[in-house]
Structure 1
Amino acid sequence: MPRPTQTPAINKAFALDALANHQIRLDGRKPLDQRPWSINFYAQPEDDDEAGESAGDSGTASAGLGKVDVRLGKTRVIANISASIVKPREDRPYEGLIYITSEMSGMTNQSYIEGRTTEDEVLTTRLIEKAIRKSEAVDRESLCILAGEKVWAIRITLHYLSDDGNLLDCACMAAMAALRHFKKEEVEVRGDEITVVSTSSAMSDDYLARIEFSSCSLRFGNLQHKASERAPMQLAIHHTPLCVTFAYLDDNNLILDPSHYESSIATGCLTLTLNAQRELCVLSKAGGTPLAKDELMRVVRLAVERVRDMTKALEDALKADEKIRIIEVR
């Protein structure tokens, strides 16, 4: 459990008075202002062996894909995507697998204890699973290689580095940015023969052990194709769900993107997961101040506008990275 923290009554009274009488929060924001986003993708490493050749043939074309560093103010989350070939579930032989794991250390916030899972971490992971898996953001059928035999397993690993409030929104943005940025190796199936078109110049023994199976024969792409001939493929993503969190400091004061301190004095929190198409994917409200129907619809309308801005920020970051990253040579 996190260390119990006590908020001095005078500090809470000051924050509520500033918000009620002056419409300003302790960090200088207006009630419905959101902290600035920073989305940075990991750089593509340079090829030192053959600097004169094109990056598409260098074997580093897909390096750095699916790794992103997202910051919402001082809240910071790093997301990393990895993929492996596994056997599908027996009840869903045509669908790939998606796993979501998180790592939170004692350095994330002083209220967390190293090695102990907190309720906030469990709730954050569950809501991200609902936002990504339950809303079918990723087409899992497109991850199927050979029905009933082999499918792609996509693992999303979230590293929580700093929690200055609203960790859920930052983690969801990081997960979706990494999924949109990630590219998997192309797989070619001819009968019972599978060719993995790898963009890696060397495949480790551990990776070889993971993708071998007895019912089919495997040949590796480095013996057949170059990375410039078969570029890695993007995941089939239906939509981009993003989380927007509101907090009520009392029955009347609604704020967007609460800080860690504001969350500690809030009487209730409401998280909406939406996409740019105005589709409501998840609504989460665990206790707190009861909301009337009109108030709930007002919050939904506010969240739709914020999600559009967040989606634009993500699209701009992806386009900027696409201009400087070499994936293939045509």
Structure 2
Amino acid sequence: MPREAEPSLNERAFVLQALQEDIRIDGRALDEFRGIDLKFGPEYGVADVRLGKTRVIARISAEVTTPFPDRKFDGVFTIVTELSPLASPAFEVGRQTEQEVILSRILEKAIRRSNALDTEALCLIAGQAVWSIRADVHVVDHDGGLVDASCIAVMAALKHFRRPDATVSGEGHLTVFTMAERVPVPLSLMHDPLCVSFSFYHGGEVSLVDATLQEEQLREGELIISMNRHGEVCQLAKLGGVPVDALTLLSCTNTALVKVKDLTALINKKLDEDAKRRNLGGLMTELSAENER
């Protein structure tokens, strides 16, 4: 099975010695993220996130489908991940690696199971027709921090996405309008969960945020905290390795809250900039007035 090239003995010793002295190879502080660049595509619901050299693209799509028999009033929300071989030699087409399984489960618990998306608002006709929202996550470049970058991409894409407007008339007659006929409708989000990953070294004495691929290969343990800007913890994922004591966990949670607030502010800022570029005061205002009439 293909694998990433592992650091040499000299690289390992150098990086670990530097971390023991609170120094990172790229010059960042231990609790500092790499530079984040967020861009939206020409279509609604496409978010391109660059976290250092890591790049993740999320795309949201919607279609009308029948609900699950046991959830007649809820829409459907699924998250699908794809790790391209172009991103890393460790990824193969058609064969899920352990990293892809972990990424899928973390995103599933952090976003879908935390009810970030209001699925009841996706219901069109109870038991007959609901919106099915699908988030496709494509990893284009991999240099560590996949979970954090993917979560940012999915949440940004969900907030950016607009689904077609639809009405129900008569005896269950459903009409779905095109974007030229009616202004598209944003999704109803309950909260904005984001992930912050911590890596541990030297028996858990040293912890850092947003590890690069090289730092991930040398870590002794990992902790992923999912929370929203209100400080509500959605998930704690401790993926083996060295144990983490209560004080360290509390410190990581406090650090994660600061990072989540900063990331949420960044996403909202980029959304505002994108809205201005799309000239919402022109065509969209005209379409909105048409809706009201």
CA distance in 1, matches of 2:58, 2:49: 8
256, 259, 262: which one pairs with 2:209? 256
Is the Cα–Cα contact under 8 Å of residues 197 and 225 in structure 2 kept in the other structure?
yes
1:232 to 2:184 alignment: yes
Identity over aligned pairs, percent = 38
Residue of structure 1 equivalent to 2:285: 329
CA distance in 1, matches of 2:159, 2:64: 20
State the secondary structure of the residue aligned to 2:239.
coil
TM-score, normalisation: structure 1: 0.82
1:270 to 2:223 alignment: yes
* Higher mean C-alpha displacement, 307-316 vs 25-34: 25-34
Is the Cα–Cα contact under 8 Å of residues 75 and 162 in structure 1 kept in the other structure?
yes
Residue of structure 1 equivalent to 2:64: 85
CA distance in 2, matches of 1:4, 1:263: 11
CA distance in 2, matches of 1:162, 1:306: 23
1:134-182 CA-to-partner distances (Å, cap 9, x unmatched) read 1000000000000000000001001110010010100010000000000
Residue of structure 2 equivalent to 1:197: 177
CA distance in 1, matches of 2:104, 2:247: 30
Residue of structure 2 equivalent to 1:187: 166
* Higher mean C-alpha displacement, 248-257 vs 78-87: 248-257
Residue of structure 2 equivalent to 1:102: 81
Gaps of 5+ in 1: 44-63, 201-225
Residue of structure 1 equivalent to 2:20: 20
Residue of structure 1 equivalent to 2:121: 142
1:329 to partner: Cα distance: 2.8
1:5 to partner: Cα distance: 4.2
1:297 to partner: Cα distance: 0.6
CA distance in 2, matches of 1:2, 1:67: 30
For residue 172 of structure 1, what is the amino acid of its counterpart? C
CA distance in 1, matches of 2:85, 2:93: 4
1:3-43 CA-to-partner distances (Å, cap 9, x unmatched) read 2644322211111111222x221112121111011110013
TM-score, normalisation: structure 2: 0.93
4+ long deviations beyond 6 Å = none
State the secondary structure of the residue aligned to 2:274.
helix
1:191-220 CA-to-partner distances (Å, cap 9, x unmatched) read 3222212115xxxxxxxxxxxxxxxxxxxx
Residue of structure 1 equivalent to 2:273: 320
| Matched residue count | 281
Gaps of 5+ in 2: 287-293
242, 250, 258: which one pairs with 1:297? 250
CA distance in 1, matches of 2:177, 2:93: 41
Is the Cα–Cα contact under 8 Å of residues 167 and 176 in structure 2 kept in the other structure?
yes
1:39 to 2:19 alignment: no
CA distance in 2, matches of 1:312, 1:36: 15
CA distance in 1, matches of 2:40, 2:5: 35
For residue 118 of structure 2, what is the amino acid of its counterpart? D
CA RMSD of aligned residues (A): 1.3
Larger-gyration structure (1/2)? 1
State the secondary structure of the residue aligned to 2:55.
strand
**Matching of residues 58-69 of structure 1 within 5 Å:** 64-69=43-48
1:39-58 CA-to-partner distances (Å, cap 9, x unmatched) read 10013xxxxxxxxxxxxxxx
